[in-house]
Amino acid sequence: MSGSASSVFFGLSTIAYILAMVLYIGYLAFRKNQVGVVATTVTVAGFISQTLAILLRWKEFYEVGQMGWLRAVPLTNLYESLVFFVWCLILAYLVIEFRYKNRSFGAFITPVAGLVLAFIDISGMSKDIQPLVPALQSNWLLAHVMMSFIAYSMFAVSFSTGLMYLIVKTDNRNQPAYLFWTIMLGIFAIVLCAMGLDYLTFKVAVKSQEELIKGYLFKASFRNSSSAIALLSFAASAAIIFVIWRFGGVLKKIITSLNISAETLDEITYKSIAMGFPIFTLGGLIFGAIWADQAWGKYWTWDPKETWSLITWFFYAFYLHSRLMRGWKGKRVAMVAVLGFVAVIFTYLGVNLLLSGLHSYGSQ
């Protein structure tokens, strides 16, 4: 089923976002307005194509599942939800571009979109339409998953603006906030590289794609059977972080040249959390609890997914309250916003990929 019309449009949107990324970066480098206009056009085209793809998949699912439009929302597995996440993120970005009349964020947002879509392809996760198990046949599912992802994309925006704020606001390499963002950015880069290596080597090593995600993560680097390679990976990671730390000033120069004030960055961070928090509370926690209550008779069971949603919620409550504390405005608050998104990623991917691997008997 993956050769259907919807996957053609998905492919087009992936290409468009990657192209847009190149264009936005080109726009930043050369500051040619025409380049910016083309970048926006390409992004909008990618967005339309992706919208069509999602609608088509919805229709396909409806025809396969035979149980009503609302139950056929294409939001039932990792693949579909990541695609929806990208869609929300691009939408949020386009809104910001038009509201703040500033294209510079594009160079930061489109790579995220491109990377997520590339991750989908690299990890080889199943793209098939899978019929719904009975527990998922609930109208709450639509509201729950959709709102969670809208909130996640708001949090993703706050993560990038929070990080940019920190980059702009720090000079001294020994400042805690400077160390914080260089390590954060370093870890992101390292994890992406390590997953890329897993992909390059896994085809020879393991057969099933499920295994890649669950059991093979970091086996090409940190968890390699050869301790020399594992050590080398740690050394390389340290080197990556060092380079970012040493040359972080370059990033600051780039961002300051964007004509975005630190205050605007802080405002966008706050606004996206102020939008994301209520949506996450209602859709992620409350609707999730109602659904669990209907399906299993327990609105809260402290299972890892629920618990991590709660932890995420606490992080953002922490963010909202830390702004109220004396001396916490600015950098410290931005660090909390960045950490909040780490919790989001863990809630979404870590629980499925890491914790379930830890708890299963199969691997090792």
Q: Which is nearer to other proteins, 34 or 364 (CB)?
A: 364
Interacting partner of 1 out of other proteins, ligand HEM, none (Cβ under 5 to 8 A depending on kind): none
Q: Which residues bind other proteins (CB under 8 A)?
A: 131, 133-135, 137-138, 274-275, 277-278, 281-282, 286, 289-290, 293-300, 302, 304, 307-308, 310-311, 314-315, 317-318, 321-322, 324-325, 351, 355, 358-359, 361, 364
- Distance CA(111)–CA(107), nearest Å, equals 7
Q: Which is nearer to ligand HEM, 7 or 281 (CB)?
A: 281
- Distance CA(162)–CA(266), nearest Å, equals 7
Q: Which stretch binds ligand HEM (CB under 6 A): 75-83, 89-97, 254-262, 313-321?
A: 313-321
Closest separation in Å from C-beta 138 to ligand HEM: 26
Q: Which is nearer to other proteins, 3 or 297 (CB)?
A: 297
Q: Which is nearer to ligand HEM, 239 or 325 (CB)?
A: 325
Q: Which is nearer to ligand HEM, 84 or 280 (CB)?
A: 280
Residue 317 engages ligand HEM in binding (rule: CB under 6 A): yes
Q: Which is nearer to other proteins, 26 or 357 (CB)?
A: 357
Q: Which stretch binds ligand HEM (CB under 6 A): 43-51, 158-166, 261-269, 319-327?
A: 319-327
Structure tokens at 30: 């050369």
- Distance CA(65)–CA(181), nearest Å, equals 46
Closest separation in Å from C-beta 324 to ligand HEM: 5
Among 263, 324, 326, 327, binds ligand HEM (CB under 6 A): 324
Residue-level length of the chain: 364
Structure tokens at 271: 């606004």
Closest separation in Å from C-beta 125 to ligand HEM: 33
CB 118: neighbour CB atoms within 10 A? 17
What's the alpha-carbon Rg for the chain, to the nearest Å? 21
Closest separation in Å from C-beta 328 to other proteins: 9
Closest separation in Å from C-beta 248 to other proteins: 27
Closest separation in Å from C-beta 140 to other proteins: 8
Return all residues near 117 (Cβ < 8 A) that are at least 6 apart: 10, 13, 14, 17, 82, 83, 86
Among 294, 321, 360, 363, binds ligand HEM (CB under 6 A): 321
- Distance CA(298)–CA(18), nearest Å, equals 43
Interacting partner of 299 out of ligand HEM, other proteins, none (Cβ under 5 to 8 A depending on kind): other proteins
Yes or no: say if 259 and 105 are a contact pair by the CB < 8 Å rule. no
Return all residues near 133 (Cβ < 8 A) that are at least 6 apart: none
DSSP 198-250: HHHHHHHH-S-HHHHHHH-TTTTTTT-SSHHHHHHHHHHHHHHHHHHHHTHHH
Structure tokens at 290: 């109602």
**CA end-to-end span of the chain, whole Å?**
33
Q: Which stretch binds ligand HEM (CB under 6 A): 23-31, 113-121, 297-305, 315-323?
A: 315-323
Closest separation in Å from C-beta 108 to ligand HEM: 25
